[in-house]
Structure 1
Amino acid sequence: MTRRYDVVKRLADIAGAAGGLLVLSPVLLAVGCFVAVTLGRPVLFRQVRAGRLGRPFPLVKFRTMTPDGGAAGIAQDAQRMTRAGQLLRATSLDELPTLWNVLRGDMSFVGPRPLLTAYLDRYTPEQARRHEVRPGITGLAQVNGRNALGWEDKFALDVRYVDERGPALDLRILARTVRTVVARDGISGHGVPTTVEFLGSDR
């Protein structure tokens, strides 16, 4: 059953991503122009993230921050975040290019969010199980608090998704994602523009 579900899910991902890129192409163009005018070039943000089984892949999103100039960290991120970037994040329009990642097979529509490869050796063995499936644009953690959740709670929900995944759960998550995006829930962590760095858990 799991194998059949994985095959059907992948086919649905391909159809959904291809259709989404086609239908939303005017929106993608408009957002790209908006980013170019308000933030300049490059329009797209690329960052290596960990995919299924921890394999690295280049995540693609619309850029929401000014160039880092070699700086890094939460404080610098707060300074680099612009009003235009906040708008894109609040509406989740910055996520639209990740449809390309879904089409390529790097990601799925539903699954644990892809995180930095630097986190791979910081997970407990239980937390690392989140990489047993493809990462997703949305997931169980994203509809239950998103960035307002602490890392331990996020990872617990990720692993729960791995264990309970199926068509019914995916549909519930997708439906709740629409509500979460409209309500703009959990966009940022407490006092930070996105979320704090994961430094590891007690094993």
Structure 2
Amino acid sequence: MKRLFDIIASSLALILLSPVIAITAYFIHKKLGSPVLFRQVRPGLKGKPFEMIKFRTMKDAVDKNGHSLPDSERLTPFGMKLRSTSLDELPGLWNVLKGDMSLVGPRPLLMQYLPLYNQDQSRRHDVRPGVTGWAQINGRNAIGWNEKFKFDVWYVDNQSLLLDIKILYLTVFKIFKKENVEHDVAEELARFKGTDL
């Protein structure tokens, strides 16, 4: 039922939101240039790698030696606006339709985090990663890594179609209410360094 729901809901969302997706892509191209999409390999179900796509939110800026500047210096006010409204996540609906992701589940993080999880934290990969999740509606970037992972594992143990619908509703509600969407750049971009096992 969850996979069927994902297919139907992501298909409808891609159709209904196609004007928003097109307009967002236009402004990204105008303000940040090409490419419009950001692609990165992330761990999916059971840690299997997949290519996640999002709208690009950072500019290509390098230092005098040609090395990329830190993320905090490349993230523009326009990019922050895309993130705070979650418009940058819209291309992820294609990942959902393909089966790499679900609409609801633990957020897909970086591949290099896989060996850093303790046994309990690694259970977040027992389900498909999601565009939104239980941790996102319970603090998003305002909570620390350990708390996020506890919310992720709680979702794994309590997932249901009704819970998914509740999370999707609360996600939309919080975006429009701008709850838990204003945050410090450094906090959002902080890397997970592991916890005591």
Output the CA distance in 1 between the equivalents of 2:3 and 2:156.
Answer: 15
Contact 1:81 1:193 in 2 (8 A): no
Q: What stretches of structure 1 of length at least 5 have no aligned partner? A: 1-7
SS at match of 1:59: strand
User: Residue 15 of structure 2 is aligned with which of 22, 26, 35?
Assistant: 22
> CA separation in 1, counterparts of 2:36 and 2:21?
11
Does 2:141 align with 1:132?
no
5+ residue gaps, structure 2: none
Higher mean C-alpha displacement, 12-21 vs 187-196: 187-196
Deviation at 1:201, TM superposition (A): 0.5
CA RMSD of aligned residues (A): 1.4
2:105 is the alignment partner of 1:108 = no
Residue 85 (structure 2) aligned to one of 84, 88, 91: 91
Other structure's SS at 1:14 match: helix
Counterpart AA for 1:199: K
Matches of 1:189 and 1:49 in 2, distance apart? 23
Q: What's the % identity of the aligned pairs? A: 50
Whether 1:51 aligns to 2:44 is: yes
Contact 2:141-2:187 within 8 A present in 1 as well: no
Paired residue total: 193
Moved over 2 A (4+): 68-72, 183-191
CA 1:22 to 1:191, structure 2 compared with 1: closer, same or farther past 3 Å?
Answer: closer
TM score, norm. by length of structure 2? 0.93
Q: State how 1:28-177 maps to structure 2 within 5 Å.
A: 28-67=21-60, 69=62, 70-71=67-68, 76-177=70-171
After superposition, the Cα gap between the structure-2 partners of 1:197 and 1:188, relative to the gap in structure 1 and judged at 3 Å, is farther
Deviation for aligned residue 1:142: 0.1
Residue 194 of structure 2 corresponds to 200
